Each structure stands twice: as C-alpha cells, then as structure tokens.
Chain A
Amino acid sequence: MDWMMILKAFVVGGAICVIGQILIDKTKLTPARILVAYVTIGAILGGLGLYKYLIDFAGCGATVPLTGFGSLLAKGTISEVQTTGFIGAFTGGIKAAAGGISAAIFFGYIASLVSKPKIKKQ
C-alpha cells in the first residue's frame, strides 16, 4: 500500500472540499450550483490537459471530487475524438464516465426503493 499517495489524496481532496465550504459560507451559492460549477471547471481543466497533473500527483484526491468527474468527461471526449473523429465528441464523454453515472442511477434507484422516508421533524 502506497501510504504517501493516501496522504496526498487526503490533503488534496480535503483542500478541494475546503474551497467548496468557503463558497457555501461566504457566498449565496446553493449546493446544486456549486456542484455544477465544480463539474464545469473540472471539464475545462481536463480539456486544457491541466487536471491530469493533479491526478498524477494526488490520485483519488483529484478524481473523487466532482472536478474529477468533469475532467473524466473531457478526457474521454478528447481520446475518443482522436480515435473516431467528429462523432467522438458526442460519444466519448459519457463512455468514459459511464461506470459512475450508471452506478449512481442504479444504486440510487434501489436505495430509494428499499428505504423508508423519514418524517421531517422541524
């Protein structure tokens, strides 16, 4: 087990979350907007080829936050464009992120079927 990588993932992942926390506390952005911003920024950084340096450095510290999801979409698109051309721009992104998206939809659906909604006590 590579302990140094785990430590780096901890620090970088934590730092990315702290930026989000500052945005929540200091601005009026809703969590949904912050998630959208993170995905978009990740996709742009991935498209520019910058995000892969952070992944090389911190591993899951960079891929697990939602910016990693965005960069995965962009990376998949570019590599698919390189192999199949124009059509790759439309197929590559989701193909690369298919595992995460499908898992989220499927497990999410199952979890909501078997769970009982809690009655809100305010």
Chain B
Amino acid sequence: MKPIQSKEDYQSYVDEKTPNSPILKNCFNAFWVGGLICAIGQIIFGLCRLRGIDETNSYTIVSMTLVFASAFLTGLNVFNKVGKFAGAGSLIPITGFANSIVSPAMEYKSEGYVMGVGAKMFTVAGPVLVYGISTSIVVGLIYILLNTQSLVLI
C-alpha cells in the first residue's frame, strides 16, 4: 500500500475500506417490494374488472383490500418486519397508511380505548388527511375561480 500523503489519497483510502453505502440495497428492496404491492393491486383490479365492476369501484376495492391486508399483518407483528426490510417500499403504498394507523393504536392500547387507541391512531394518518383534504379543497376552489372567470369572459 502506498503511503497516505494528501487529502485525496486519504479519501480514496477511506472509499476503498468503507462498505458500499446501503442506499443502493435499500432502493432495490424498496423497488421490488413496492412494485410487488402495486402489481398485486393490479391483479385484484383485473379480477374486479372481470366480474364487471366499474373502474372507480375497482380502484376502491383494491385500496380496501390492501388496507385490510396491511392492518391484519400489522396486527400479527409481521408488517413491521417487512417495513424494516423494504423501507419506503411498504411505506409509500396505501399499505403504509394503514400500518401508520394500526401500529400506534396497538402501542398505546394501555392508555385506554378512547385517548389511547382512538386518538393515537391518527398520529401519522391525521396529518396525511389534513394536508390531503385541505389541498383538495383548495384545488376545488381554484377550479371554481378559474371557471367563473372564463364564464364571465365569455
């Protein structure tokens, strides 16, 4: 090994010795787990369509099925292990939303059924609903504004 003399030498020595950043591995796991959840959703969607259910309701059934599966697996303490492995792969799909409801509810069960389970369910889901719904209302108001304007202009 050549002696370390400059900052660059030291940097390359460190890069050589440190293991590869886990970000690639994390991204790979997130990709295939997240993709798999969406693909399962697409299969359920296909089955609903085969039964003659319309598109909007089929998407709703997909969400409800995945939410149920996620809540069930969280209750069995399985989902948290998947989450540790997959990171964003299980967090970003709607499964993560369901998990974020069940897991604090389970944890705070000892504080009672109203202020424990009932209130803590929304530690993460609450903000998601607040910002999602508020944004959608703003979108609706802007839509009204733009459309009345175009009506007035015409």
Q: Residues of A with Cβ closer than 8 Å to B? A: 1-2, 5-7, 9-26, 31-32, 34-36, 38-40, 42-44, 46-47, 58-61, 63-66, 68-70, 72-74, 76-78, 80-81, 85-86, 88-90, 92-94, 97, 99-101, 103-105, 107-115, 117-118
Contact = CB atoms under 8 A, between A and B. Distances in A.
B140 A77 contact: yes
A15 B28 CA distance: 10
Q: How would you classify the secondary structure of chain B's contact residues: helix, strand, loop or mixed?
A: helix
Nearest to A76: B136
B136 A43 contact: yes
The range of chain B's interface size is: 35 or more
A92 B138 CA distance: 12
Given A10-B38, A35-B124, A77 B136 contact: yes
A60 B75 contact: no
B41 to A, nearest CB: 4
18 contacts: A9-B42, A10-B38, A18-B31, A24-B26, A34-B92, A39-B131, A47-B136, A47-B143, A63-B63, A69-B94, A73-B136, A78-B143, A81-B143, A103-B63, A107-B68, A107-B71, A111-B102, A118-B77
